[in-house]
């Protein structure tokens, strides 16, 4: 009998039908098992019901041949009504199941190699137990026999070497004890993250980066760091627990314990356990190269093709156990039709190493050959230069990676301290690219080094017997003999073209987007205010509108009223204190400004205004960026209210008054004779104070902040920039540059006119 005949009129429950293997299995059952009804457990997602998600799934290209003209079904809905029954639910809370099931194929599971420990146990162990209990409930009083097919992984064998039989994994780990401990880890690690020691560490690290921006910004980053630490610790705990017991990672560990749960139910259900190796794209069905998402090999293939994978910690003669998804699905269908005896679960390894081994050296040669013929194009730089792997061994690759991590850490510490500029931002961008590559290498080294150096031989006699028992057309439809795969053809003509196609399309889109962003840089986004609302454009001054800083502008203001010896003395004092002033500015910009402005003590405010009007005005306007002036005028022409919000003292802003509707500046306090006391009349607007001022201003004036603009150059202005819908980073320092790139904000470079010199001290010779 054919499989279609054996499985005719059977009702088959499939979990994980929206996943890679589940989708391929659904395709095969609809197309090649016409008399079989599928019951699919599908979790609602957002506003989509499980039924709606199934409708979305069936609208994918691989399912379109099953409905429409020339088929028995008018549309996807008609196909669903006749062949598929949707049960809304999730493995974390398995719903009641139909009482007329014949077969259950459990494809769902956490397939990440590094899941948080509690999530891995929830899905792979406790979810499996809950499903089995629901299956048992569904058959009570019916007298039905339900064949349970469990999709596991070949790597439940753990860190063993040599031949791995198609049999239960030999271990003595109590799954109940481990599940209880694993589920408790979430609360334990959460509690640890909230200890005084850990919170102090998170806060100090956050304040080191965000202190200038403000306490609330640092607090938000502190909590982000805590949450990330918890997530990382949950992953590390799962990995270490798995390795301490002989498994490669938490995924294989919990899948092995899940098998123990299944084996306990083998006296209730006829049970089959299917263990695929590394599942990759199809050889033939649904079509050559079909794959959903990135699996194990794809990120590595793409990284190599982009020249970003200089080495890999594999032995060249180690075998990589790759199997095509259609061979896995073929074997599952054959297993479905072969019901074992109670208390005698049957095991099936679906791999390739036993009879058609593919070594890492062969895989590397095939991938290199493909990219040599079909390289990625990096635009002006031409084709990617492909790395040459020497296979130096895992220890050597690890040493290389550690050296790269240390070198990057030093370079990053330097780049955040050097003067800002276009070249500095270029280096920062290159360092960020390098960091992503190093992080990528570290992640995949940690994940895959065990697999790359594994020396396991998965015996697949049972799967070969399944294939040989197939009759007639079933040998083609449900083929599961991996020995037929021609690896050079599969790698170069099937798999690599398939996995790189989407990336090549994405590169085209990215190039167009980057070109559009480059063309849009410096162009004002036209935004019209709604009725009864206003739009503002808030500008910082120093470093944004003109290339200056507080120390420079203080010297501009102070030196003209001093005689020769006094000027030398003042300049010398500033020079001697410069390192401390720079350190103070990085720590607390408000305290830094107060320190500088104390030096105005004794100066006459009227005289400072006179110096600005008669001596400094021309110099300030010369230092003003032409691009900045044009942008301000564009905003005014668009009907936007322009605001200058700066920590500079009020007198220095006088030359800029014609450009702005409102100016918010530091106000020098004076005594009853009009002399500066060395204090301010109120706290300087810096960091979060600027954001608070803008929000209050918006409430009072009915300003639409979602359509408003803000321009600044410093990371201390991050809170101000985040309050508006159109933030612009202007010639930013490295921390703001990185934040702007991460948030996809507009970044512009407003240059000071070349006729202006940073060394010029205006008015020094005027008196």
Residue 766 has pLDDT above 50, yes or no: no
Band (pLDDT 50/70/90 cuts) for residue 136 is very high
Residue with tokens 């420990």: 117
* Phi–psi pair at 110, nearest 5 degrees: -80, 110
Which range is least confidently modeled, 146-150, 206-210, 245-249, 376-380?
A: 376-380
| pLDDT reported for residue 523 | 74
Give the CA dihedral 222, 224, 227, 229, nearest 10 degrees. Answer: -70
Cα distance between residue 279 and residue 275, in whole Å: 11
Ordered structural domains, the chain, with CATH: 3-310+323-352+454-484 (3.40.50.720), 536-748 (3.40.50.1000)
Strands 536-539 and 103-106: unpaired
Q: Minimal CA–CA distance to 626: which of 748, 767, 492, 742?
A: 748
Band (pLDDT 50/70/90 cuts) for residue 349 is very high
Cα distance between residue 635 and residue 724, in whole Å: 15
Residue 662 has pLDDT above 70, yes or no: yes
Work out the average pLDDT over 675-691.
89
- State the Cα angle at 689 between 683 and 692, rounded to 5°: 130
Residue 767 has pLDDT above 70, yes or no: no
Work out the average pLDDT over 549-564.
69
| pLDDT reported for residue 52 | 87
Predicted confidence (pLDDT) per residue in 419-441, tens digit: 777 788 888 888 888 888 888 88
Hey, what are 387's tokens? Answer: 């790395």
Residue with the larger pLDDT of the pair 473 and 440: 473
Predicted confidence (pLDDT) per residue in 517-552, tens digit: 665 666 777 777 777 889 999 999 988 898 777 777
| pLDDT reported for residue 761 | 58
Predicted confidence (pLDDT) per residue in 695-752, tens digit: 999 999 999 999 999 999 998 899 999 999 999 999 898 999 999 999 999 999 888 7
User: How far lies 622's CA from each of 635, 751, 765, in Å?
Assistant: 21, 12, 18
User: How far lies 290's CA from each of 110, 193, 508, in Å?
Assistant: 22, 43, 22
* Mean pLDDT, all residues of the chain: 88
> What percent of the chain is predicted at pLDDT more than 70?
93
Work out the average pLDDT over 302-319.
88
């Amino acid at each position: 009998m054919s499989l279609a005949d054996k499985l005719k009129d059977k009702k088959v429950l499939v979990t994980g039908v929206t996943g890679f293997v589940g989708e391929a299995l659904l395709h095969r059952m609809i197309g090649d098992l016409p008399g079989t009804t599928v019951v699919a457990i599908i979790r609602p997602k957002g506003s989509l019901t499980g039924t709606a998600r199934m409708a979305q799934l069936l609208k994918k290209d691989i399912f379109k041949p099953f409905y429409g003209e020339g088929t028995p079904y008018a549309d996807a809905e008609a196909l669903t009504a006749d062949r598929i029954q949707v049960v809304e639910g999730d493995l974390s809370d398995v719903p009641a199941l139909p009482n007329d099931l014949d077969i259950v194929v459990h494809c769902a599971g956490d397939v990440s190699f590094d899941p948080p420990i509690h999530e891995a146990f929830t899905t792979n162990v406790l979810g499996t137990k809950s499903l089995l209990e629901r299956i048992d409930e569904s058959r009570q009083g019916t007298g039905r026999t339900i064949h349970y097919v469990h999709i596991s992984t070949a790597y439940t064998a753990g860190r063993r070497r040599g031949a791995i039989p198609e049999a239960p994994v030999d271990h003595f780990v109590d799954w109940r004890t481990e599940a209880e401990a694993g589920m408790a880890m979430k609360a334990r690690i959460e509690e640890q993250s909230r200890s005084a020691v850990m919170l102090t560490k998170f806060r100090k690290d956050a304040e080191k980066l965000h202190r200038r921006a403000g306490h609330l910004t640092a607090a938000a980053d502190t909590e982000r760091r805590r949450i990330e630490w918890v997530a990382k610790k949950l992953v590390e705990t799962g990995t270490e627990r798995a390795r301490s017991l002989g498994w490669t990672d938490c995924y294989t560990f919990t899948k092995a314990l899940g098998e123990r749960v299944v084996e306990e139910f083998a006296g209730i259900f006829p049970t089959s356990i299917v263990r695929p190796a590394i599942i990759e794209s199809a050889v033939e069905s649904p079509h050559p190269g079909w794959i959903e998402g990135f699996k194990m090999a794809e990120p590595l293939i793409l990284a190599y093709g982009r020249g970003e994978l200089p080495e890999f910690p594999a032995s060249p003669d180690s075998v990589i156990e790759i199997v095509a998804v259609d061979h896995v699905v073929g074997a599952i269908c054959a297993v479905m039709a072969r019901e074992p005896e109670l208390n005698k679960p049957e095991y099936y390894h679906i791999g390739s190493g036993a009879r058609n081994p593919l070594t890492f050296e062969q895989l590397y040669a095939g991938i290199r050959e493909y990219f040599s013929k079909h390289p990625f194009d990096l635009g002006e730089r031409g084709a990617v230069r492909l790395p040459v792997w020497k296979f130096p061994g895992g220890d050597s690759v690890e040493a290389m990676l550690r050296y790269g991590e240390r070198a990057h850490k030093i370079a990053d510490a330097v780049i955040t301290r050097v003067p800002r500029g276009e070249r500095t931002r270029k280096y920062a961008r290159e360092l960020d690219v390098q960091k992503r590559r190093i992080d990528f290498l570290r992640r995949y080294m940690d994940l895959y080094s065990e697999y790359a150096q594994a020396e396991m031989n998965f015996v697949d006699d049972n799967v070969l017997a399944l294939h040989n028992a197939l009759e007639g057309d079933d040998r083609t439809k449900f083929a599961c003999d991996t020995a037929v795969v021609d690896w050079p053809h599969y790698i170069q003509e099937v798999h690599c073209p398939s996995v790189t196609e989407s990336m090549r399309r994405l590169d085209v889109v990215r190039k167009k987007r980057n070109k559009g962003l480059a063309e849009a840089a410096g162009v004002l986004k036209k935004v019209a205010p709604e009725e009864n609302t206003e739009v503002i454009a808030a500008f910082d001054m120093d470093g944004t509108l003109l290339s200056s800083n507080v120390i420079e502008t203080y010297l501009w203001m102070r030196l003209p009223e001093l005689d020769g010896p006094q000027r030398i003395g003042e300049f010398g004092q500033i020079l001697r204190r410069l390192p401390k002033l720079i350190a103070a500015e990085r720590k607390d910009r408000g305290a830094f400004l107060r320190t500088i402005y104390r030096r105005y003590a004794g100066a006459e405010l009227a005289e400072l205004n006179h110096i600005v009007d008669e001596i400094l005005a021309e110099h300030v306007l010369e230092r003003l960026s032409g691009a900045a002036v044009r942008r301000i005028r564009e905003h005014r022409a668009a009907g936007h209210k322009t605001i200058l919000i700066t920590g500079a003292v009020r007198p220095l802003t006088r030359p800029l008054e014609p450009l702005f509707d409102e100016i918010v500046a530091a106000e020098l306090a004076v005594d009853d004779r009009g002399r500066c006391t060395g204090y301010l009349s109120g706290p300087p607007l810096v960091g979060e104070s600027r954001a608070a001022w803008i929000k209050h201003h918006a409430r009072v004036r009915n300003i639409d902040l979602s359509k408003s603009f803000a321009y600044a150059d410093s990371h201390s202005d991050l809170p101000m920039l985040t309050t508006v819908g159109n933030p612009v980073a202007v010639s930013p320092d490295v921390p703001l540059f990185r934040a702007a790139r991460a948030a996809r904000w507009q970044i512009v470079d407003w240059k000071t006119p070349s006729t202006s010199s940073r060394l010029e001290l205006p008015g020094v010779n005027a008196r």
